[in-house]
Amino acid sequence: MHGGAVTLARQFLEQGYRPDLILASDMLDLSTFLSLTRTETHNIPVALYFHENQLTYPLRRGEKRDLHYGFINYLSALLADAVFFNSAFHLQSFFDELPRLLKHFPDYNELDTVSQLRARSEVLPLGLDLRRHDLYSQARVTTEAPIIVWNHRWEYDKNPQEFFQAIYALQKMGLDFNLVLLGESFRVKPEEFLEAKERLRGRVLQFGYVEDFGSYSSWLWSGDLCISTAHHEFFGVATTEAIYCGCYPILPNRLVYPDLVPEELHAACLYDDFGGLLARARDFLAGKRPSSKELASLRSHVARFDWAVMAAQYDQRLEQVVKAHHSRA
């Protein structure tokens, strides 16, 4: 979040290109970028998109938050004509935490700016290339036992410990299932996954990241059940893709997850504690399966995030930002 703004500013000036609008992500230090390019960007409208943020992203145990990165997010939002968040949960959690960040300052904490920023912030969900998965719907692997899919990053914020705790409990119950463990790991030794590879030998059909999209998609289409135990999820791309490909979701009743499931299926898909997770997974594996109508409802609910739907919303909203900016100029 530091040097990148300097590099992008240099590249922008070298190109000599003047866009109608600058759309920046939360990982850009917008104040640095705009100050270094002010000769060219002083009258260009700016929209800021928060896919993550540095105020509410969960920390590792014992780790202390560096408030400077959150302050960069705050300054970038102040400079933007419009601020977009990928989900309502993300927007709300950011503005719940922002006053606490500003109160760290003994004076000139500018708390009044929180309401001003909130007024020009809104939800604009991600656009995803979901229809691309349709190309691989017939490439599924079929097994006699149901397939449970994990397709999240192999990192602490996705809480793999609780996921495998549930898997081992289901194994102990004598329930039949197979496991597909997708997702990328940035650790040299992802201990929970390596242990699972040994303890669940014979059940693991896929272990680790797959390079090509077709293989990834075919594994999702092969899945029957997708489970999340995450401590952090601002949007839920992995879960959205799994649901679109026909996996039935069992998700925590927190974070963004209630938005990914139709309200009429909240009770069936969302759990409040470990016992709730285990009960739903046990019932599914024991034969209590969703109806084709319920699966269709789930798929339709997440299909709204496909670019075929979202592109027009982005075009319309960003055009409005440009018009509003120039009407004030």
Edge-to-edge strand ranges of the sheet holding 147-150: 204-207, 178-181, 147-150, 225-227, 248-252, 270-271
pLDDT at 188: 76
Confidence class of residue 58 from pLDDT cuts 50, 70 and 90?
Answer: confident
pLDDT at 138: 95
How far apart, in whole angstroms, are the C-alpha atoms of residue 91 and residue 127?
17
Would the pLDDT of 318 be above 80? yes
Confidence class of residue 1 from pLDDT cuts 50, 70 and 90?
Answer: confident
- Look up the pTM and report it: 0.94
Q: Are strands 225-227 and 178-181 parallel, antiparallel or unpaired?
A: unpaired
φ, ψ of residue 43 in degrees (nearest 5): -125, 25
pLDDT at 325: 94
Q: Where are the beta strands (DSSP E) in 192-238?
A: 204-207, 225-227
Q: Tell me the domains of the chain and their CATH numbers.
A: 3-127+308-328 (3.40.50.2000), 130-304 (3.40.50.2000)
Residue 318 in tokens? 């960003």
Do residues 1 and 31 lie in contact, with contact meaning Cβ atoms separated by under 8 Å? no
Q: Are strands 22-25 and 46-50 parallel, antiparallel or unpaired?
A: parallel
pLDDT at 328: 87
Segment 117-143 mean pLDDT: 96
How far apart, in whole angstroms, are the C-alpha atoms of residue 214 and residue 103?
49
Confidence class of residue 21 from pLDDT cuts 50, 70 and 90?
Answer: very high
Residue 246 in tokens? 């026909």
| % of the chain exceeding 70 in pLDDT | 100
pLDDT tens digits for range 80-93? 999 999 999 999 99
pLDDT tens digits for range 61-118? 788 888 999 999 999 999 999 999 999 999 999 999 999 999 998 888 899 999 999 9
φ, ψ of residue 60 in degrees (nearest 5): -70, 155
Termini Cα distance of the chain? 30
Tell me the pLDDT of the chain averaged across its residues: 96
CB-count exposure of residue 63 (10 Å: 0-12, 13-18, 19+): exposed
* E strand or H helix that includes residue 321: helix 307-328
Question: What count of Cα atoms within 13 Å lies in the side-chain half-sphere of residue 26?
Answer: 21
Phi-psi region of 246 (alpha: psi -120 to 50; beta: other; left: phi over 0): left
**What is the 3-state composition of the chain as percent helix, strand, coil, each rounded to the nearest 5?**
50, 10, 35
